Amino acid sequence: MTALNNDFNLSAASHLRRSVVEVEQQVSPNAGVTISNHTVKARIGFRGKGAIAFLREQGVTIPEKPNQATFSGGFAVLRLSFTEIWLLDIESDSNETFEPKQKSKSEYIAALESAAKNSPDVYRLFCQHSHALFSFNERDKGTLANLFAKICGVDLRESVFPSGSIAQTSVARVNAVVFKQVISEKTERYYLLSDISSSEYLWDALVDAAGEF
Amino acid sequence: MKLMNCPLNGPRNISEFVYGGEVRPMPNQATCSDKEWADYVFYSDNNIRIVKEWWFHSPSGYWFIAERHTASDEIVKTYDSSELFSERVEFNAPDDQPAPVLQTEGLK
């Protein structure tokens, strides 16, 4: 068995990222829902008693409570428990530089991974290669809530699940993390993280569920 | 549908949870007898009473503690493990003790 090379930075190896689902985007038959595949975009997770303090030192804004998300600079910051944070590149081109760091998002996340290595009580989570990330856009408000009502037991309607909420639950019988971003008064966007090994099944199940919209 | 109240995520379908065994003090594996260790790993009392158990919410990867009545199966309460454990439990043997050696005699 070879020893783990501590200098190796997984986040810097963007060429190793793979998506099991080969489709990048799928529009439902009546154009009510668009599902996009963001699996190969950069993401990173940290856990441990020192994780929140470490990320605040790095200038990351952390949601106040577990199961809340914030969005800034093309990133989503998910607080998945009291001491677990994930940063996801969710929107624009991963090679685009962003202020004020003057780095691409992949470089920024790779730098975070390096900085975490010597921080006490901060444990790196290998969510880059373990999870698939899909997004859902709707043409008319309420469509996605109806879509998810078919496949998820948690009520995701606006009244009880506002923008920035996270639900860690089962979607189409597969474990998933669902979070919501309100884009405008008229539309919402949902994101779904799920284990990559079952992502091909889940993609087909989601496309099937969207078939009526 | 049977529901369980996850301290982190709220009420969820029981199918999202995995049982993790009773909460019991772990004997020091470096110094305890084989009988004590086997008792800790393999045996449970199986009495009718309210037991403290480890449960795992699979979608969020979250371990917590539930108190459950073993006869009625009612879940009395659930809470974060930090209420019982304030620091990490280390599994390493102390430095001044030799590493445990696998005993192969009598296993055939």
Nearest to B12 among A80, A82, A169 (CB): A169
Query: Can you give the pLDDT at residue B70?
Result: 94
Nearest to A170 among B13, B80, B82 (CB): B13
- Neighboring chain B residues of A170 at a CB cutoff of 8 Å: 13, 15-16, 59
pLDDT > 70 in chain B, percent? 83
Query: Can you give the pLDDT at residue A55?
Result: 95
Among A151, A168, A175, the residue to mutate for chain B (most B Cβ within 10 A): A168
A96 contact partners, CB below 8 Å, separation of at least 6 = A74, A104, A105
* C-alpha distance from residue A81 to each of A49, A131, B9, B44, B70 (Å): 11, 17, 9, 31, 29
Instruction: Quickly tell me which residue has 């090379």 as its tokens.
Output: A5
Q: Report, as ranges of residue numbers, the positions in chain A whose pLDDT lies below 70.
A: 1-7, 92-102
SS (H, E, C) A52-69: HHHHHHCCCCCCCCCCEE
Interface contacts A/B by beta carbons within 8 Å: 36
Residue B96 has pLDDT above 60, yes or no: no
Beta-sheet strands, E only, within chain A: 25-27, 33-37, 43-47, 68-72, 75-81, 84-89, 97-98, 103-104, 123-125, 131-138, 166-171, 174-182, 188-195
Class of the CATH domain delimited by B3-83: alpha beta
Other beta carbons within 10 Å of A87: 22
Among B5, B8, B60, B88, the residue to mutate for chain A (most A Cβ within 10 A): B60
Query: pLDDT digit string (tens) for B24-56?
Result: 888 888 889 999 999 999 988 889 999 999 999
Q: Which residue of A has its CA nearest to B17?
A: A169
> Which amino acid is residue B27, in one-letter code?
P
- Neighboring chain B residues of A154 at a CB cutoff of 8 Å: 12
Q: What are the sequence ranges of the domains in chain B? A: 3-83
> What distance in Å separates residue A63's CA from the closest CA in chain B?
15
Contacts with B, A 54-113, CB within 8 Å: 66-67, 80-82
> What distance in Å separates residue A174's CA from the closest CA in chain B?
8
CA pair distance A125, A113, nearest whole angstrom: 10
Q: What are the sequence ranges of the domains in chain A? A: 23-40+130-213, 43-127
* Record: contact A67-B9, CB cut-off 8 A: yes
Among B8, B18, B87, the residue to mutate for chain A (most A Cβ within 10 A): B8
Residue with the larger pLDDT of the pair B36 and B85: B36
pLDDT band for position B93 (cuts 50, 70, 90): low
Domain range A23-40+130-213, its CATH number among 3.40.50.720, 3.90.79.10, 3.40.50.1820, 3.30.1360.120: 3.30.1360.120
Query: Can you give the pLDDT at residue A1?
Result: 43
Query: Can you give the pLDDT at residue A212?
Result: 96
Domains A23-40+130-213 and A43-127 share a fold: no
Nearest to B58 among A66, A80, A175 (CB): A175
pLDDT band for position B1 (cuts 50, 70, 90): confident
Assign A23 to helix, strand or coil. Answer: coil
SS (H, E, C) B73-85: CCEEEEEEHHHCC
Task: Give CATH for domain A43-127.
Answer: 3.30.70.1520
Query: Can you give the pLDDT at residue B97?
Result: 55
A43 beta partners: A88
Instruction: Give the residue ranges of DSSP H helices in chain A.
Output: 51-57, 105-116, 143-151, 199-209
- Neighboring chain A residues of B9 at a CB cutoff of 8 Å: 67, 167-169
B9 touches chain A (CB under 8 A): yes
Query: Can you give the pLDDT at residue B46?
Result: 86
A162 touches chain B (CB under 8 A): no
* C-alpha distance from residue B55 to each of B12, B22, B61, B66 (Å): 13, 9, 10, 7
Mean pLDDT along residues B64-86: 93
B8 touches chain A (CB under 8 A): yes
> Which amino acid is residue A47, in one-letter code?
R
Query: Can you give the pLDDT at residue B108?
Result: 42
